[in-house]
Structure 1
Amino acid sequence: MNTQTIMTLIDQYGYLAIICLIALENIFPPIPSEVILTFTGFLTLTSNLTIWGAIIAATFGSLLGAILLYGIGRLISVERLSRFVATRIGRLLHLKQTDIKRASTFFNRRGGLAIFYGRFVPVVRSLISIPAGMAEYPFWSFVTLSTLGTLIWNTVLINAGCLAGTHWKTVMGWFEEASMLILIVSLFIVALLIVIYYIKKKRID
């Protein structure tokens, strides 16, 4: 979905478009929330949209998408993933049931931080809901953390778009660059943690 289409939908359908687009953005990461939110902020200056109305609509849409992906994670479940690990494909990938259970236990202990901070990282803000569901992370805790993280993100971008006015595209570009930098740093940290984990595991074995 291109930028012009996003702008047209929000301009014509207001809050409903914001809810639907942000929900889709959570399910399909290639749809850029930076465009949706900063343009929405600009529209609060030229339409009947209000800043708080837009923030609430965007947060509600994000939560809808997150809950859907959480539900998909629950359908996959750790048990089903463990059964997959036991198959030939799982063995070829060198996956072990103990690794799956350990990851699930870790997520339930530390997953809250991943859920909250993941809302500020592109792609991760969508995908983090699936392991949360798989690990059966407490639903209402998931909803609360997702809402808080998303609320902050939406508030910052919508207000930035509003303050920038006709220069909202410039602000959007800044946020896109910052988001990409955050994603690269996050991937580097995850890769480093995986390497450290396997080094420690080999020493123990």
Structure 2
Amino acid sequence: MFDWVVGVVEKGGYPGVALLMFLENVFPPIPSEIIMPLAGFAAARGSLDPIGVVLAGTAGSVAGAWVWFLVGRWLGAGRIERLIVRHGRLLTMSLDDLDRARDWFRWRANLAVFLGRLVPAIRTLVSVPAGIARMDTGRFLVWTTLGTLIWTGLLATAGYMLEARFAEVEAYVDPVSKGVVGLVVAAYVWRVATYSPARERD
């Protein structure tokens, strides 16, 4: 994965960074924690502009979040409830989980979207309840962009500052990224195996 990401960043430039960050949101096992630091490396070498890297990463990430927001809007609460009733184990979510998330989100939508974009693992997921809750599109895009801009900026800056130690970073980033994917899969399998719906609705 590491070599592939490096190739896309080096050959694709800003569109490549935006594409990778879009895919990171649509297909989370491609982590932004690898993409943006590598883009920062490229900026430190002079092949890309640091501000351009952050803006490209932010644009791609927001576009990916927008996809999931639209999915949430299309699904709506009714479809989500039916999916949970039928496939709650695979989704690792109960109706009670949905109610709690919906109540919390109803009162803290702006904060949830903003902070959610700063937290690994839920960066993508937070867009779905925003869509389900019919959050105002303008508000969603503003808070998503603000949170994403901070996240991509921090990661790109870290990569920029570590450019001189690229060889050392390269040696451990690939195994770490594979380990992260493995942990995500293991956590999902554990959730499926231990899933116990709190209640069912008629």
Are 1:26 and 1:66, in contact at CA under 8 Å, matched by a contact in 2? Answer: yes
Identity among equivalent positions (%) equals 34
Are 2:44 and 2:50, in contact at CA under 8 Å, matched by a contact in 1? Answer: no
Corresponding residue for 1:194?
Answer: none
Amino acid aligned to 2:157: N
- C-alpha distance in structure 2 between counterparts of 1:46 and 1:70, whole Å: 36
Kindly report which structure 2 residues correspond to 1:80-159, keeping only aligned pairs within 5 A, or say none: 80-82=79-81, 89=86, 103-159=101-157
Corresponding residue for 1:202?
Answer: none
Corresponding residue for 2:64?
Answer: 65
- The alpha-carbon distance between structure 1 residues 51 and 134, as it changes in their structure 2 partners (threshold 3 A), is same
SS of residue matched to 1:17 = helix
- The alpha-carbon distance between structure 1 residues 45 and 61, as it changes in their structure 2 partners (threshold 3 A), is same
Q: Does 1:18 align with 2:17?
A: yes
Please, which of 161, 164, 175 is the counterpart of residue 162 of structure 2?
Answer: 164
Q: Deviations over 1:102-123 (max 9, x none)?
A: 6434312112222111112222
Are 1:77 and 1:133, in contact at CA under 8 Å, matched by a contact in 2? Answer: yes
Could you state the TM-score of these two structures normalised by the residue count of structure 1?
0.73
Are 1:38 and 1:168, in contact at CA under 8 Å, matched by a contact in 2? Answer: no
Q: How many residues align?
A: 177
Provide the aligned C-alpha RMSD in A: 3.2
- C-alpha distance in structure 2 between counterparts of 1:128 and 1:31, whole Å: 17
Shift of 1:91: 10
Amino acid aligned to 1:167: R
Corresponding residue for 1:76?
Answer: 75
- The alpha-carbon distance between structure 1 residues 82 and 32, as it changes in their structure 2 partners (threshold 3 A), is closer
Are 2:45 and 2:163, in contact at CA under 8 Å, matched by a contact in 1? Answer: no
- C-alpha distance in structure 2 between counterparts of 1:169 and 1:77, whole Å: 47
Amino acid aligned to 1:8: G
SS of residue matched to 1:126 = coil
Runs of 4+ in 1 over 3 A off after TM superposition: 82-85, 89-96, 98-103, 168-174
- C-alpha distance in structure 2 between counterparts of 1:72 and 1:15, whole Å: 27
Flag the structure with larger Rg: 1
- The alpha-carbon distance between structure 1 residues 91 and 26, as it changes in their structure 2 partners (threshold 3 A), is closer
- The alpha-carbon distance between structure 1 residues 66 and 90, as it changes in their structure 2 partners (threshold 3 A), is closer
- C-alpha distance in structure 1 between counterparts of 2:69 and 2:88, whole Å: 27
Could you tell me which runs of 5 or more consecutive residues in structure 2 were left unpaired when the two chains were aligned: 188-197
- The alpha-carbon distance between structure 1 residues 169 and 137, as it changes in their structure 2 partners (threshold 3 A), is farther
- C-alpha distance in structure 2 between counterparts of 1:113 and 1:72, whole Å: 21
- The alpha-carbon distance between structure 1 residues 48 and 80, as it changes in their structure 2 partners (threshold 3 A), is same
- The alpha-carbon distance between structure 1 residues 108 and 46, as it changes in their structure 2 partners (threshold 3 A), is same
